[in-house]
Amino acid sequence: MDVDVVEQLEEAVLADEVQQAAEEFLLRRLPLFECMTDDQLAFGNAEEQRLEWHEVYREYAALMEDLVLQACLAESPNLCREDVYAELSRVAESPDEASAAARSCACFFLSMFEYDSFLSMMKELVRRQRGGLELSFGARPRPEPELERE
């Protein structure tokens, strides 16, 4: 394939518009996850889960798929969604040592659309919120606070 799908997806995921949309979505839906117990936050994703968590996951996956794949396909109109997924799967399963970084990146992109990955992300947000920490997302830098001038 002439197009470096992994590189295009990386650029799309890191795009400010995608990061902002994901951040806004997750913050809007975070209250549904605030009921998690400390045990649910501490252990794997095998515990009892609420139906609305899965519904939010499906909304998130659809949003990210649309945003990320649209950005990728806009760069290469000759591609289709199926081509992108096929290339990601091919790279993720490649035994070639030279492509270890691309393989790792492809596995990450594929995991973005998995429920366990989404739930882990929401757990981290709940932990950060309970700890009084900033709810930060992705690679988008936060604006620096203005310093007072003397």
Write the pLDDT tens digit of every residue in 93-144: 777 765 777 777 777 777 777 888 899 889 999 999 998 888 766 544 444 4
Which residue is listed with tokens 């900033």?
134
What DSSP string runs through 73-104? HHH-TT--HHHHHHHHHHHHT---GGGHHHHH
pLDDT tens-digit series, residues 63-104: 988 988 888 878 778 888 888 778 778 877 777 765 777 777
Q: What is the pLDDT of residues 26-54, one digit of tens each?
A: 999 999 999 998 888 887 666 678 899 99
Query: 69-80 burial, b if ≥16 CB within 10 A, otherwise e?
Result: bebbbeebeebe
Query: Which CATH number does the domain 5-130 belong to among 1.20.1520, 2.60.40, 1.10.3470, 3.10.620?
Result: 1.20.1520
Task: Give the pTM.
Answer: 0.74
